[in-house]
């Protein structure tokens, strides 16, 4: 292996380490000290690898949520059961009773929590023609 190939390999390893540290939430200043690199180079790499970093962060966040909380579909099922029980109870009650309005409030709060759980779906893609080493994305959204 010649010196140029070794430098390219070391550069790639350094970039991969940078991506890992940014994914873990390290600041550019902290990474600059750790990798003995200039902050401006790290900011450039941050732009170049922003989608990979964002995807890795999302993956780690999702994995953590799965370990700490119930699976998403299980949370939805629990929320749906609670909402169904409340709506069934509302149906039994005379709407002139005060407790019914309280049940409506609880049901509305559960609906809001369900909407928050479902969230928005976002797709991002990298534009292939990158002017001046800047990365841009197109965001496509739709409501489920």
Looking at the structure, tell me whether residues 55 and 42 fall in a common domain.
Answer: yes
2 lies in which domain range? Answer: 1-69
- pTM exceeding 0.85: no
Long-range contacts of 8-12 (CB under 8 A, 24+ apart): none
Looking at the structure, tell me whether residues 48 and 85 fall in a common domain.
Answer: no
Looking at the structure, tell me whether residues 59 and 9 fall in a common domain.
Answer: yes
CA-only gyration radius of the chain, Å: 24
pLDDT tens, residue order, the chain (144 aa): 544 444 444 588 999 999 999 988 899 999 999 999 999 999 999 999 999 999 888 888 888 777 777 677 787 888 889 988 988 887 887 656 657 778 788 888 888 888 887 776 666 655 555 555 555 555 545 444
Neighbouring C-beta atoms of residue 28, cutoff 10 Å: 19
Cα 93 to Cα 88: distance, rounded to the nearest angstrom: 9
Looking at the structure, tell me whether residues 95 and 56 fall in a common domain.
Answer: no
For residue 115, CA distances in Å to 11, 79, 118, 143 come to 44, 11, 5, 11
């Amino acid at each position: 292996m010649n010196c140029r190939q070794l430098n390219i390999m070391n550069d790639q390893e350094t970039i991969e380490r940078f991506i890992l540290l940014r994914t873990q939430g390290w600041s550019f200043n902290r990474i600059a000290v750790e990798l003995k690199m200039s902050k401006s180079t790290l900011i450039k790499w941050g732009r170049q690898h922003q989608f990979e970093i964002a995807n890795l962060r999302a993956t780690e966040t999702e994995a953590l949520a799965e370990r700490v909380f119930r699976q998403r579909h299980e949370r939805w099922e629990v929320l749906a059961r609670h909402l169904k029980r409340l709506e069934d109870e509302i149906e039994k009650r005379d709407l002139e009773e005060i407790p019914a309005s309280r049940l409506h409030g609880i049901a509305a709060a559960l609906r809001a929590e369900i909407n928050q759980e479902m969230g928005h779906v976002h797709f991002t893609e990298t534009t292939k023609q990158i002017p001046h080493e800047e990365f841009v994305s197109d965001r496509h959204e739709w409501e489920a």
